[in-house]
Amino acid sequence: MKRCDHSKKKKVFITGRIPSLAYELLSKDFEVNMHDDLRLLSKEEIISGLEGKDALLCLLSDTIDKDIIAANPQLKVIANYGAGYNNINIAAAGEANIPVTNTPDVSTDATADLTFGLILAIARRIVEGDKETRAGRFKGWAPLYHLGVDVTGKTLGVIGMGNIGQAIARRAKGFDMKIVYTSRTRLSVRQERELGFTYMSLEDVLKTADFVSLSLSYSSATHHMIGAKELEAMKPSAYLINTARGALVDEKALLKALENKTIAGAALDVYEFEPQITEGLQKLDQVVLTPHIGNATVETRDAMAAIAAENIIAVLKGKAPLTCVNANHLKNRIMTAK
């Protein structure tokens, strides 16, 4: 454990190794205890580490349930190191009057970059080509060798047109792609006209798109929103890309669709049972798999560390957090800081 001790100071527990910027910011005013290792802590270890602490800075991969929240009545804030926060029991935090914060917006460009990288990788069979070359099976250029498909001029279907969805679509416009989308909140007619996006139902997006990209948040309402029925609706030549949340996709149904060539391929950065991957996906050449690295750039992870730390600093100094996600759940309502 990495520790910064100062008597009579409020205390912060960080559940895992994150960029040192967060530790440096927090240790100026607080006693900071950080699990300085890549190994994820167990529930019992989190409860133990949280004992006597005023703030928790947790990872997206930590499950912060009602038992952990109830174990420390002294806890004043939970700062999640990630834009998503479905790993935290928001209701339990609200009942305990604990604000929960996240790190939104800063992940947009990095995630959109990776998403488009996956589109290119799966369309042009880049990962397959790398394996082929490294294995010494490349014997020279040939007209029909290792053919992929064009990205330029194709149709991209975006499911979830928030900040990340719009950033992905803007990149696609550079490849002269047609953009169709569906989203819980539709863009204005003016925005659609200016951006050149066409709104459709989910069914029509799936039927129309050559590449379907998921960029929406996860909730019980969106669980398995892409299942056997939706995969059947896609073109046999289409590809599915998921850089959002694993459980948006029924991976067993996806595996079957890939094996049966219901769709042409898939590129995944997130997984339904993460870090486990549904057995069989790893064996398919028409699948590209990356280890949840959507926002894994030095610049983005530093920005996330700063936001998480600044949320804790604000709350422990009696101010409103910058990015509170559960203000409506709190007994004593707080306003998000401007």
* 124 is annotated as an active-site residue: no
Quick one: which H or E segment has residue 212?
strand 211-214
Residues 130 and 127: their CA atoms lie apart, in Å, by 5
Tokens read off for 78 = 């939970």
Q: Distance between alpha carbon 6 and the CA centroid of its chain, in Å?
A: 35
The token pair at 74 is 């002294």
* Known catalytic membership, residue 292: yes
Annotated active-site residue in 24, 95, 132, 274: 274
Q: Who contacts 189 (Cβ-Cβ below 8 Å, separation ≥6)?
A: none
> Which member of 146, 223, 224, 292 is catalytic?
292
Q: Is the peptide bond before 104 cis (omega within 30 degrees of 0)?
A: no
Distance CA 182, CA 208 (A): 12
Active site residue 274: yes
Q: Is 173 helix (H, G, I), strand (E, B) or coil?
A: helix
Please measure the distance between the N-terminal and C-terminal CA atoms of the chain and give it in whole angstroms: 34
d(CA 254, CA 327): 37
Point out the catalytic residue in the list 125, 245, 301, 329: 245
Catalytic residue numbers read 245, 274, 292
